[in-house]
Structure 1
Amino acid sequence: MNGNEALNSAMRERGLTQVELADAVNVRLDASGNVGTVSDRTVRNWLTGKSRWPHFRQRLALEAVFGCTARALGFSPPGRRRPSSSEPESPVDRRNFLTAATATAAAVTPFVGAPPRVGTSDVIRLRSGLDALVVLDHSRGGHDGLERAALAGAAEALEKQKLGATQRIRQRLFSVAADYTATAAWSAIDARRMDRASQLLGRALYLAGMAKDPVAEMRVWNSYAMLAHHRGEYAEAVDAAYAAQGTAVARRQPLYSSLAHARTAVGHSNLGDAQAAIRSLGYAQEALGKVEMGEPAPSWIAFYGPAELLAMTAIVRHRIGDPAESEAASHSALSTIPKEFKRNRALATARLALAQLHQRDVDQACATASAVFNQMSGHPIPGRMRSLLGDYYRDLISLAPGATIAREWGDRYRSEWSRL
C-alpha cells in the first residue's frame, strides 16, 4: 500500500505533526457546526494510504487548512460511486462550509488551523543565514557588520514567529532568534564591547527560554563565562561555566559537557586555583573522548574539538604559571586548528608568543607575535586580539625594555595600530 507523500510533504512544509493536523481539522469542523472527531490515528491512515478519500466534511476541512484541493493533497476518490445516501458534494455546500469555518475559526482561534504562512523551509533558510555568519566570524572575528547582520536575522525570525505558524515552528523560530542574538553578543565580546554583549546575552537567554532550547541556553552561558573572563570577573566566569555544565544538553552530550568543563578550567586558572583548573581540564578531555565522530552539531560549536581544547589548555597553563607547558599546548593547537579558523589560529599564535616571552625567549617571541599581523592580513584585528597583543607589548617592554628586537616589534605594533 503506497503512502500519501503529497500530504506528508504538505505537513512537513507547515511543521504540522499528526496530532496538530488532527486538531486543525477538528477546529474547522467545529467552526462549521460539525463535530470534530479526527484523531492522530485518522491522520496516520491518511498518510499510509489506508484511507484514500476522507469523508466529505473532512476533505473540506483539510482543504481549508492547507489552502488547496484534496486531490492536490494526494487523495483520490474510489473507482466506483458511493451509495446514494452519501453526502453530495454541492458547490454551495462547499462554499458555505469554507465560509463558516474560516469566519468562526478566525474569530475564535487566530492561529490553530489557519493556513500557516511560515513553515520548516523558513526555519531552514534562516538557519542557513546563521551558518554563513558563523563562517564569517571564524575568518574575520567580531565586528559591527557581523553584529548588525545577526540582529537583522534575529528580527526576521521573531517577525516570522508572529505570522501564524504552528507552536512547534514558533518555538523553532524562537530558537533561531536566540542563536542569532547569541551570535551578535559573541561578536560584541570579540570586539570587546562588553556592556553591549551583556545586554545581548540577556536577550538571548530569554529567547532560549521561550524556545525551550537547551543547546541555545548552553551557548549563552558559555558566552557569559567568556564575557566575565574578559571583564576580570573571574568568580562570575566560574559560576557561568557551572551553569553551562548544568544545562540539559551538557548533561546528555559529551561535546557540550567538554566545552563547559574547559570553560570552567579557564575560570579556575584565573582565580589561581591550579588544582581545580587541571581537574576541570581532565573532565573536558574525558568528555571529549566520548564524542562520536560525525555526530551532528550546530555550526556555532564547530570551533570546539581537540585543537580548541589544546588552545584553552595553553591559556590555563599560562595562567597558573607554567609557560613551558603553555608553549607546548599552543604548538600542538596550531598544528591541528583548521586553516579556515583564521581568527582562532591568530589568537593561539599570540598566546604562543606570550608563553615564549615569559620564558625570556624574546627574539622568538617577537617573531611569533609578528606572525599574528600576517595571519590577519586584509582584516581589522578584532578587539579581543588587540587586547591580547597589548598585553604582549606591555610585558615585552617590561621584560626587555632595551632590546633592539623589542623596539623593532614596538614600531611594527604601532604601525599596525591603524587597522587594529
Structure 2
Amino acid sequence: MDTARNTALEAWMKEHGHSSNSLAEAVNEAQERLTGRPGGFDGSSVRAWKAGKVRWPKSATRRALEDVTGLPVTALGFVPRRRAPLTPASPQEATDMKRRTLISGAAAAAASAAAPAAVAPRRIGMSDVDRLQRRFAEVIASDHRHGGQLRIEQQAAALADEALNLQNAGGATQRVRSSLYACAASFRSSAMWAAIDGRRYEEAAKHMREAQALAEMSGDQAIKFRIWSHAGTMYRHLGRPADALAANDVARGLHITRRDPLFACLGHARHAATLGLIGDTAPVQRALGCAQDAFDRTDPDLARPVWMIAACDGAELETLALAAHLRLGNFEQAETHAHRSLTLLRPQMQRDRAINTVRLAHAQLAQGDADAATASAMKVPVDAATQHARVSRMLQDFGAALRATAHGSPTVQTWTEYTAAWRATA
C-alpha cells in the first residue's frame, strides 16, 4: 500500500530548524523526562515518520513529540488507527449508512463554512523555554561583540515580549511558567544593560522596572542578582553613589551569593567599583579582598548563566578592580589590573576589551607616560571608537587629558591626526 508523506511534520521541522537527527535527540530526551526511560530513536526513525511509514506512533512516543513541539500529534500529520467493524453490514444497512453519511457530511460541510475552524489548544513546554534561552545566548554574544547598540536593546525587548506572549498561548506547568518569566526578565535585563552601555539612561530605568517585576514573578535568584547589579552600575554612571550602593546591597543580600561564591565575588567587586567613586580607599581594598577570597572558593565546573562568562575566568574581577583603582587615583595598581584583564578577556569580548584598553591609556597618562598611553588608546578598534557611546566618551576624555598634560608635543599631534582619520571614516 502506498504511503503519503507527512508534510505537516516536515513543515514543522523546517520552521524550527530541526534535522532528523536533532529531532530524534529531542524526542529521546523528552521521553526520558516523561517516562524515566530514554527513547531509542535516531535519524532513520524520524525519516520513517516523514515518509509516512509510521502513521501513528506508540503512546509514549506521541507524548514525547507533543512535549517537544507543543502541538497535538494529529497537528503534526499523524493519523490514529481506525478499527474495522466486527461483522459485515447487510446490503440494506450499507445503503442506509451511505445515505446517513451523505446527509451528515453535507451538514458538517455547511457548519464548517459558517463557523471558524476550531484550533487545538497549544501546550507550552520546556522546548519553548530552551528555544528562548538559545536566543538569549545570541543576545549575550552580540552584546559581548558590540555592546550598547540600540538594535540590541530593541531585539532584547522584543524577545521579552515574545516570552510573555507564550504565557497566554496555551497550557503550561508551573515550572514552565516560572521559566518563561525568568526568560522575559533575562531579555529585559539585557535591554536594560544595552541602554546603560549606550548611555540611554531614561530607557534603561524603564527596562529595569519591568525586569524587576518579571524577576519577582519568576523567583529566579540569578536573574534578580543580574538586574540589581546592573541597577548599581546605572546609578554609578549617573553619579548617584548612594543609590548604587543600595542596589549593590540588594544584589549582595540574595541567597544565591551564599550558595555560589562566584556571585558573592561579583557582588563584592561591583561594590568596590562604586566605593571607588566616592573615594573610600580602605573599604575598596576590603571589598576587593572579599571578592578575591570568594573567587578562590568558586567551583569552576558549576553550571552558571551564560551572562557570567567573564566572571568565571576572573576577567570581570580584574575589570572591576581596574575601575575602582582608577577612580581612587591608584594609577599604578590600575595599570596592573588593566593588563591582567586584557590577558583574561576572551577574544569575543570586544566591547570589554575596548573599554579596558582606554582605561589602561588613562592610567598610563596619569603616570606621565603620554607616549605609552597614546599607543594604548590607538589600539582601540575604529568601530568601537565611533559606534560605542561609552568608548567614544572615554576617548574624548583621554584626548582632553592628553592635550592638557602634553600640550604642543608631537604625541598630541599624532593623536589629533589619528582621531581625525578615523572620524572621517565613521
TM-score normalised according to structure 1 size: 0.72
Shift of 1:147: 1.1
Following superposition, the deviation at residue 407 of structure 1 comes to 2.7
Aligned residue among 215, 229, 233 for 1:226: 233
1:328 paired with 2:349, answer: no
Does the 8 Å CA contact 1:249/1:256 hold for their aligned counterparts? Answer: yes
Q: How does 1:42-191 map to 2 (within 5 A)?
A: 117-163=123-169, 164-191=171-198
What is the CA–CA distance in structure 2 between the aligned matches of 1:203 and 1:332, rounded to whole Å?
A: 36
Q: Secondary structure at the match of 2:333?
A: helix
Superposition pairs for residues 401-416 of structure 1, below 5 Å? 401-416=407-422
Pair 1:277-2:298 in alignment: no
> Hey, what's the Cα distance between the residues in 1 that align with 2:222 and 2:406?
46
In structure 2, the CA distance between the partners of 1:285 and 1:419, relative to structure 1 (3 Å rule), is farther
- Of the three residues 332, 338, 342, the one matched with 2:350 is 342
Identity %: 33
Cα gap change, 1:160 to 1:418, in 2 (>3 Å): farther
Give yes or no for the alignment of 1:396 onto 2:402. Answer: yes
Shift of 1:408: 2.3
The alignment partner of 1:303 has SS state of: helix
Deviations 1:151-201 (A, max 9, x none): 111111000011221222111100000000101111111111111111101
- Alpha carbons of structure 1 residues 66 and 149: separation in structure 2 relative to 1, 3 Å: closer
Match of 1:195 in 2: 202
Of 371, 387, 392, the match for 2:393: 387
Structure 2 match to 1:373 = 381
Shift of residue 412 of structure 1? 2.3
1:235 aligns with one of 225, 237, 242? 242
Counterparts in 2 of 1:243 and 1:414: CA distance versus 1, 3 Å: farther
Q: Distance in 1 between matches of 2:230 and 2:324?
A: 18
How many residue pairs are counted as aligned between the two chains?
A: 323
- Aligned 8 A contact 1:142 1:188 in 2: yes
Alignment check: 8 A CA contact 1:235 1:271 kept: no
Q: 5+ residue gaps in structure 2?
A: 1-26, 37-58, 60-69, 75-119
Counterpart of 1:221 in structure 2: which amino acid?
W
Following superposition, the deviation at residue 410 of structure 1 comes to 2.6
Over 3 Å counting, the alpha-carbon distance change for 1:199 and 1:294 in structure 2 is same
Kindly state the Cα deviation for residue 419 of structure 1 after the two structures are TM-superposed. Answer: 6.9
- For residues 419 and 157 of structure 1, the distance between their equivalents in structure 2, rounded to whole angstroms, comes to 39
Alignment partner, residue 306 of structure 1: 314
Distance in 1 (CA, whole Å) between partners of 2:402 and 2:282 is 29
1:297 pairs, out of 301, 304, 310, with 304
Gap regions ≥5 residues in structure 1: 1-5, 18-52, 54-64, 70-113
- Could you tell me how far apart the structure 2 residues matched to 1:369 and 1:243 are? 36
Aligned to 1:351: 359
The amino acid that maps onto 1:139 is R
Q: Structure 2 length normalisation: TM-score?
A: 0.71
User: Is the 8 Å Cα contact of residues 148 and 198 (structure 2) preserved in structure 1?
Assistant: yes
